[in-house]
Structure 1
């Protein structure tokens, strides 16, 4: 799987541009705030139908325009795909695959897979559980449409349960019991999928992390939930919901469930979030990203596109070397302010583009 070309019209700071990509490595260089990350953002948008930087689609439209357009042509087996997305200022968007309009955004998932590594990804390690849940939900949804459907249904039911909990006038146990039954059915499936994904992350991540750290560190991912085991998750989760009813009624929200779960990242048995160094935390994210590439490749049969947004300058030389030596067979788009030592780690087959205030000049 690789991008052949990308066309943008009124996207962020671009009037209209078209880029022909090398199927191996592409380097976007230039000063800060010139639009390098905007190109990666448009590529990411074609994978999931949303930005990694903002929840407001109107932010993606050039400030004096009413709509933006993205067209991405890609090569993949068995047939090439053309993704076209129109983004409107009023909040709506239209997505076509090979000129066929999609009815729902989940139909886009899995068509074009990317793995993105940016400085903001440190939040997966350093910040609140919400960032780690978002990572799991996004990665699993790429690989399983049913997971995304169950996640949407779970969140709808959760919202309804919380409304009832806050509205004492309509509160009664019979209604709550119905919601608890539904939450346990959808929630148990989410938990099982997350546990399974983390097992795959462990299987691949341990070797990757050992390679990066030259055998000095061992990484381990563990799912953190109120449910004790992998068997009978639905029954156990239902019991936990019912046991928490009184507390939830007092507080007006649902206190347990996959929407509250987390996962830990331990290096040599020590929690990376609380006690890991900055270097260890960055290496943990690097491990997660390269393990994600392997998981997607194994399940989908095709290698995703790798997007590296200004991360090389944040890493020491050994970690830079690991990344750049690991790009064989992976189409990669890299943003950086200067070439530095990048060239000495790359083979001859790569393209360099200079970005200057929304204009692109290929070297």
Structure 2
């Protein structure tokens, strides 16, 4: 799949932009605060229905305007799609695909698949469990739309259970709590199984990529850290185990007003040569681990849906050493890649690769080189 055309009207600092992209490599060069990341953000929104930079849609609209628009033409192996999002201050955004209006953001998931890598992705390795759960949930949702539905359902049940824990006035408290526990364990077990399957597949691919990126010096491993022991359990057994943990922990949950067991407490351990990258890895090692995971994600999506996703690289290409850049360049021949950079990338490294090079200044985009 590839993005053929992107149209932006009053989106961030773009008042009226309409550009054709190359099927393979696209490079956008410009100083900071000129709109490079805004461009990548617009593509990401068309894939996920929301931004990765803000939870408030009104912030996507140009400050001087009341409405904004994103239009993206997507070409896939068997069909093409026009994805459109319209934004208006204090009004719910509207989503259309091929002029048909979608009522829910979840309907958009899976039409366009993207993988984004930016300097902020270091948080995936070095920050807390929430970052890694968000990574797992976002990526699994792209290839398994039902997972996103189950995740939303789980979070709703969890919120209701937590609210119920804080209010014990109901005379039928424990019987009603048992209802929440049954629902939570049913949906939670399906989330856990999907995460286990995803991590097992991702671990194999990322290990191979990391080995190549580091010249065989480092070995990357992934380990799922659930909130309770699930070793070799099937989904029905995990469901029973989770409900058992919830019921054994009821009094503590009541005291805290929170649910201590379930996939909302899980983590992913990223290991380099058997040692935690979060605790002991250097910044360079953490960056390489994050890059390995993102590139593994690209391959995993291809394996799952039969097509490569669009790869978005936000200001990271120039930070990589020659070996890592060469590895990235080797992927450009297979997938559409969109790179932003504050510096002119050494185009001699990209000789022979089909590409377009654009220059951005204050929301204006000029095609400088093609070939």
- What band does the TM-score fall into relative to the shorter chain? over 0.9
Give the TM-score taking structure 1 as reference length: 0.98
Match of 2:359 among 350, 354, 358: 354
Partner of 1:110: 110
Q: In the alignment, what sits opposite 1:335?
A: 340
State which of 285, 291, 299 in structure 1 corresponds to 2:290: 285
| Residue in 1 that maps onto 2:305 | 300
What TM-score, normalized by structure 2, do the two folds share?
Answer: 0.96
After the TM superposition, list the runs of 4 or more consecutive aligned residues in structure 1 that deviate by more than 4 angstroms: none
Is residue 267 from structure 1 mapped to residue 272 from structure 2 by the alignment?
A: yes
Tell me what 2:79 maps to.
Answer: 79
The change in CA–CA distance for 1:221 and 1:346 in structure 2 (over 3 A counts) is farther
- For 1:144-223, list aligned pairs within 5 A: 144-170=144-170, 172-223=173-224
Aligned residues: 363
Match of 1:228 in 2: 230
| Cα distance between partner residues in 2 of 1:149 and 1:52 | 19
Distance 1:315 1:161 in 2: 46
Change (3 A) 1:187 1:348: closer
What is the CA–CA distance in structure 2 between the aligned matches of 1:288 and 1:344, rounded to whole Å? 24
Contact 2:333 2:353 in 1 (8 A): no
Inter-CA distance 126–12: structure 2 relative to 1 (3 Å threshold): same
CA distance in 2, matches of 1:129, 1:202: 18
TM-superposed deviation, 1:310: 0.1
How big is each residue's C-alpha offset from its partner over 1:4-63, in whole Å with a ceiling of 9 and x where there is no partner?
110000000010110110101000001111000000000000000011111111110000
RMSD: 1.2
Task: Select between 316-325 and 132-141 the one with higher mean Cα deviation.
Answer: 316-325
Distance across 1 between alignment mates of 2:280 and 2:159:
35
Equivalent position of 1:251 in the other structure: 256
Task: Tell me, yes or no, if the aligned pair for 1:325 and 1:345 is still in contact at 8 Å.
Answer: no
CA offsets 1:254-288 (integer angstroms, 9 cap, x no match): 11110111110001000000001111101111111
CA distance in 2, matches of 1:293, 1:33: 28
Shift of 1:91: 4.5
1:10 aligns with 2:2: no
CA distance in 2, matches of 1:200, 1:339: 36
